[in-house]
Structure 1
Amino acid sequence: MRKKVFFRVFCFTALAVIATVVLITLALTVAHGDTGALTGAIIRKELPYVLGILAAVLGASVPVSYAITGAIIQPLEQLGEHIDHIDRVQTEKELRPFVEKIRANNEKKRQLEKQKKQFTANVSHELKTPLTSIAGYAELIENGMARPEDIKPFAHTIRKQAQRLVSLAEDIIQLSQLEENDGEILFEEVNLTELASDCVQSLQINAQSRTVDLHLATPEAPIYIKGNKSLLEELLYNLCDNAIRYNKPQGSVTVTLHPEQGGTALQVADTGIGIPEKYRERIFERFFRVDKSRSKETGGTGLGLAIVKHIAQVHDATMELDSVEGKGTTITVHFPE
């Protein structure tokens, strides 16, 4: 321990220092012809007490005692331990950010693995339902078990379930592209007013079929934002489509655009079933549905709002959810300037 402490303080071992002192003392005392005391000490093995005579700068000689004793080593040990403590604290302080970063990355990887497993399980479940339906109706027709009047409704069900599979595949591809290509998406000046108007117009038939009133409220002057046109179209479509699907008969959906401090707000408000408070934090998760039985009736892949969330993130936008169960939901996207 003492050797290690001495080395940490002086970068030399105690043995090397003693040997050097002895050699220097021996050389000087021999030069001055006064070797008696040193020789006697060596013969009597009185180290660590080594008596010698060093030549002074002006040629004078003075007796010196080199004593590597506990009285010297103990303070050196304490000093070395103090330096050890300071070094350890400093090292820990310097390493702490790296350790925390590694821990955060590991936790992120674990969460991603968990999400991937959950995503795979959800996809398998979502694929199984329409495939089972398609296979069942096709088998009835193939085996001649379907009556002539059943052929058309069976074919309609098969087509509907096949379209559901296509929509699911498209949404999965869209979501994967958003997650993998955040840095490769091209931005341009986009007329958000025009996009919103086109979206509302394209969904009018869908809204009317569900007896939902869909309309747009915007300022007279068009609103432009920096973004990706196709992704913004997807965001608008998914928000409006979701508001129509989960609305009530004779309900309404209002799409509003307006400038705000620091950017632009896009708001989609419906008078639908609303979202229970305990589910609001999960509403943007992939495949999450508040009412699974209603989802079977309304259709959809369960990925629409997850895609909206990713598109908003790509545009550095923030999202705000306001919902009252039984009265409706309002989702606001705040785009920065």
Structure 2
Amino acid sequence: MSTRRLFLTLLSLLPLLVLPGRGTPQPLLPQHYEEYGNNTGMRLYLPTEFLPSLLEDRLHFARMRQYDDGYRRAAGQGLYEQALAYTDSLIRTSERHPMPGVRFTECYKNRALMFRRLNRNADACAAYARAVKVQDSLMRLEQSEVIREMQASYELDRLALDNALLRATHHKTALIAVALLLLVLAAVVGAIYIGNRHTRQLRRKLLLETKHAYESELKKVSFINSICHEVRTPLNCISGFSELLTAEETTPEAHAQYCEIIQENRRQLRYLFDDMLEVAFLENLDEPLPRSREELCDLCRRQLRILKVKYPKPSIVYKGLIPYSEIDLRTNGKYLSMLIAVLLGNAYKFTQKGTVCLECGHVDDERVFIAVSDTGCGIPPEKHAYVFERFTKIDSFSQGNGLGLYLCRLIARHLEGEIRIDPAYTGGTRIVATFPRR
């Protein structure tokens, strides 16, 4: 049986002994190598010592298998001496020519078993000791190989882990760099956006200031023209009637009339310059006006009485809707009286016939109001806000300088109140000012 296996082994090695075919140009063979196989494009180059080593390994393996089969036959037939010889041959062959991956460790135990069956107990004990020693050495060898493999795997895993950590560090650094770059880009975009918005705001503000400057220039020109007209007219009257007073043919009646006209024009000039001074003072005032306790009804009666005495006109009825009970408030009496006087003066100036009415009272527990209404020409609704601007007049040919209502708005603002034209009143003009009591 062993001869047949050896024959089959040699037969399997025959293809390796076939020489390469001729007729096809062969490449230069590497040094110490031989070529096997004659198919074009398929060449197998093996080391020159590979074939003898392979043959020797096959022969030793076949011999060891033959010894193992012989041991099994002899042990099965009870031929223990012959079985012991087979195990000794198998041990010598495996020890002299070890082959990788082939372990005949059972032969040591089989040898000890044969000694025991031959009643050679001392030799059996020695054989068992040797079997245990060989088994331990093989186990240590396998363990060392496993440890080496595990250590190599551990080194590979640690190297892979180090590479992964290094890549993670690189990724983290790249992510931080990208985040910083995005933050820088966001900051740049935000700065550009804020700069553009600030530029747009400055541009709008510049356009608004330019518009205001243009409107102020127009108002200044209108004011200068109005002031020139308002100043020139009384000055011409004063100058002309003063010359008439020096004439010899002036009668006493004319003399008295001329003196009255001169006095009236002098008062107009004084009012004009007083209004201009008050407007300049209030426009540049940053501190609140000084206040004291005042009685509103008494102030209104006094200003209405002054108007009746100062500007008597038979075609106008002066009416006062003033409560008999006292209305106390903390305010500036001088400027509140000035506001009432300006409103009454405007009502008198633009009313040729009818009624001028002054009224005051409570809006609620915290506020009071002052209202002046007339039956004059009135103010168009679209001009209600316009007339409170500086140097504005609806009729450029009317008497006045356009500072009265503007001065009233400044006074109301400094007294923490407000002033407006009542849009519901249709009989002329009704101007209402409200103030806090405290």
TM-score strictly above 0.5: yes
Structure 1 gaps of 5+ residues are: 1-59
1:200 aligned partner: 304
1:138 aligned partner: 239
Cα displacement string for residues 289-329 of structure 1 (whole angstroms, at most 9, x for unaligned residues): 22233x23xxx332111111110101111223125897311
Q: CA deviation at 1:141?
A: 7.2
Query: Does 2:416 correspond to 1:313?
Result: no
1:181 aligned partner: 285
Local SS of the residue matching 1:301: coil
Aligned length: 273
- The structure whose residues are more often strand, as a share, is 1
Deviates more, 1:198-207 or 1:127-136: 127-136
Structure 1 residues 320, 138: CA separation in 2 closer, same or farther (over 3 Å shift)? closer
Local SS of the residue matching 1:214: strand
2:359 aligned partner: 256
Local SS of the residue matching 1:291: coil
Structure 1 residues 236, 143: CA separation in 2 closer, same or farther (over 3 Å shift)? closer
Local SS of the residue matching 1:189: strand
Q: CA deviation at 1:239?
A: 0.8
Query: Does 2:388 correspond to 1:284?
Result: yes
Structure 1 residues 191, 302: CA separation in 2 closer, same or farther (over 3 Å shift)? same
- For 1:182 and 1:104, locate their aligned partners in 2 and report how far apart those are by CA, in whole Å: 27
Structure 2 gaps of 5+ residues are: 1-157
Deviates more, 1:89-98 or 1:228-237: 89-98
Name the aligned partner's letter for residue 212 of structure 1. Answer: I
Kept in 2: contact 1:274–1:324 (CA 8 A): no
Q: CA deviation at 1:127?
A: 3.2
Structure 1 residues 265, 136: CA separation in 2 closer, same or farther (over 3 Å shift)? closer
- For 1:205 and 1:143, locate their aligned partners in 2 and report how far apart those are by CA, in whole Å: 28
Give me the identity figure in percent. Answer: 18
Deviates more, 1:212-221 or 1:75-84: 75-84
1:57 aligned partner: none
Give the TM-score, by structure 1 length.
Answer: 0.65
Whichever of the two has the greater Rg, that structure is 2
- For 1:227 and 1:93, locate their aligned partners in 2 and report how far apart those are by CA, in whole Å: 49
Query: Does 2:330 correspond to 1:226?
Result: yes
2:270 aligned partner: 166
1:322 aligned partner: 422
Cα displacement string for residues 105-124 of structure 1 (whole angstroms, at most 9, x for unaligned residues): 76776566456544542442
Cα displacement string for residues 141-185 of structure 1 (whole angstroms, at most 9, x for unaligned residues): 769998945985766655544432222111000111111124152
2:371 aligned partner: 267
Query: In the TM superposition, what are the counterparts of 1:56-135 in structure 2 within 5 Å?
Result: 75=175, 78-87=178-187, 113-114=213-214, 117-133=217-233, 134-135=235-236
Structure 1 residues 278, 159: CA separation in 2 closer, same or farther (over 3 Å shift)? same
Kept in 1: contact 2:301–2:322 (CA 8 A): no
Kept in 2: contact 1:137–1:158 (CA 8 A): yes
Kept in 2: contact 1:276–1:324 (CA 8 A): no
Local SS of the residue matching 2:401: coil
Local SS of the residue matching 1:240: helix
Give the TM-score, by structure 2 length.
Answer: 0.51
Query: Does 2:337 correspond to 1:237?
Result: no
Name the aligned partner's letter for residue 254 of structure 1. Answer: C
- For 1:211 and 1:280, locate their aligned partners in 2 and report how far apart those are by CA, in whole Å: 27
- For 1:257 and 1:289, locate their aligned partners in 2 and report how far apart those are by CA, in whole Å: 27
1:301 aligned partner: 401
1:55 aligned partner: none
Name the aligned partner's letter for residue 332 of structure 1. Answer: V
- For 1:123 and 1:264, locate their aligned partners in 2 and report how far apart those are by CA, in whole Å: 34
